[in-house]
Amino acid sequence: MRFLRRGHPLLKMAIFSLVAMVIGTVVSLWIDWFPVQASTAADDIDTLYDVLLIASVPVFVLVMAVAIYSVTAFKAKPGDMSDGAPIHGNTRLEVIWVTIPFIMVSAAAIYGWIVLDDIEAKQPNTMIVDVRGQQFAWDFTYPDEGKVKSNQLYLPVNRPVEFRVTTDDVLHDFWVPEFRLKTDAVPGLTTKFRATPSKTGTYNVVCAELCGIGHSTMRNTVRVLPEKDFDAWLAKQQGSEADGGAAAAGGDMTAAGRDLFTGDGGCTACHTLADAESVGALGPALDELAADAEKYGKQEGQSPEEYVKTAIVDPNAFLVPNFSEGVMPENFKETLSAEEIDTLVKYLLTVGGGDKG
Ligand code: CUA
């Protein structure tokens, strides 16, 4: 073992690589890669990632360390134009560097399959939620809970959920990072995943597939509630077809409108409105809406109220200059009740009154 002699370049390279591998692995495990764990699958998935880090970071760092060390230590001397020594294959080395990765990759695949099979297992008392993506918003239907529809995802804690994901237009991807699970929304298909929320709170719903100009705004939240709060929300939704809008919020039209704008309507992603503290820029700003509705309404032969209502339920009927067709969701006439739309119209004309408001 000639290279074990002190000061031999190969010994130095081995020590350099070993130190780099230890540092790389410690740093990769020390970094907190993930948000809070809010589903029963999160712990298993985080453990899986840790195992993958332990398996892959040392290999990556070893290869990089050997390459970087070799580039500096074994560089040709200035003026040395001779060829390097001819080296033929080394069967033993090749068998080793094929076999070890083969075993590692196979083991990771089997481990991943076991974890996936476990977290995807059918559970009793599963609630189905239909998730529909469109450019650039999500909406949610609870087919077994009176077909309640909402632009805001609510879930009860500790109850298994099966998401059935579809899309009205292009590819999207329904992702809740805190649940650690996602699935593509594919035109013509219904894709599914199961998750059991394990912690109450508000988490992110993200579109994880580039789907057009508004992709980065295609975000929403999921509110995981204690079961009785979820049931109360569901009951309110089932009742709100009859008495939604201002009545549901105790008659305070501005508060009710703001709730719709910031919550179930999901309007804040795309519209700027000071009263709702939103700064979206994908759709027209609404702080001067009263004046705009007067102006454009006159062009269209509509009252300001009619103009705003049309803009919500049939957004492509009239386009504000410099804004494109097909950006605003076209399903608000289905997801909001007539009373809710009226509330929203009154609210927007009130808070969008500029100086007068
Ligand atoms: Cu939808 Cu990105």
In-domain check, residue 29: yes
310 and 292 both lie in a single domain: yes
Residue 240's pLDDT is 63
Q: Quote the tokens at residue 201.
A: 């709170």
Q: Which residue has the higher pLDDT, 337 or 21?
A: 21
In-domain check, residue 87: no
Distance from Cα 7 to the centre of ligand 1, integer Å: 57
Q: Across the chain, how many H-helices and E-strands are there?
A: 9, 12
105 and 181 both lie in a single domain: no
Residue 262's pLDDT is 79
Taking CB atoms within 8 Å and a gap of at least 24, the contacts of 67-70 are 69/12, 69/13, 69/16, 69/17, 70/13
Burial class (CB in 10 A: 0-12, 13-18, 19+), 244: buried
257 and 343 both lie in a single domain: yes
Residue 248's pLDDT is 47
What is the CB neighbour count within 10 angstroms for residue 271? 22
What's the pLDDT tens digit per position in 208-239?
999 988 898 888 899 999 999 999 998 888 87
8 and 114 both lie in a single domain: yes
Atom of ligand 1 nearest to the CA of 212: 2
User: Rounded CA gap, 73 and 277, in Å?
Assistant: 59
Is the pLDDT score of 138 beyond 80?
Answer: yes
Is the pLDDT score of 357 beyond 60?
Answer: no
Which residue's CA is minimally distant from atom 1 of ligand 1?
A: 172
Q: Which domain holds residue 152?
A: 127-239
**With a threshold of 0.75, does the pTM exceed it?**
no
Q: Which residue has the higher pLDDT, 8 or 6?
A: 8
**Domain boundary residue among 239, 262, 282?**
239
The amino acid that residue 86 corresponds to is: P
Residue 290 sits in a domain of what CATH number? 1.10.760.10
Ligand 1 site: residues with CB under 6 angstroms?
133, 136, 172, 207, 209-211, 215, 218
Distance from Cα 167 to the centre of ligand 1, integer Å: 10
Burial 334-348 (b: 16+ CB within 10 A, else e): ebbbebbbbbbbbbb
CB 33 within 8 A of CB 85: no
What's the pLDDT tens digit per position in 48-72?
999 999 988 999 999 999 999 989 8
Atom of ligand 1 nearest to the CA of 210: 2
108 and 152 both lie in a single domain: no
Distance from Cα 139 to the centre of ligand 1, integer Å: 13
What's the pLDDT tens digit per position in 241-266?
544 444 444 557 787 888 888 776 67
Where residue 77 falls among pLDDT bands split at 50, 70, 90? Answer: confident
142 and 226 both lie in a single domain: yes
What's the pLDDT tens digit per position in 148-167?
888 889 999 999 999 999 99
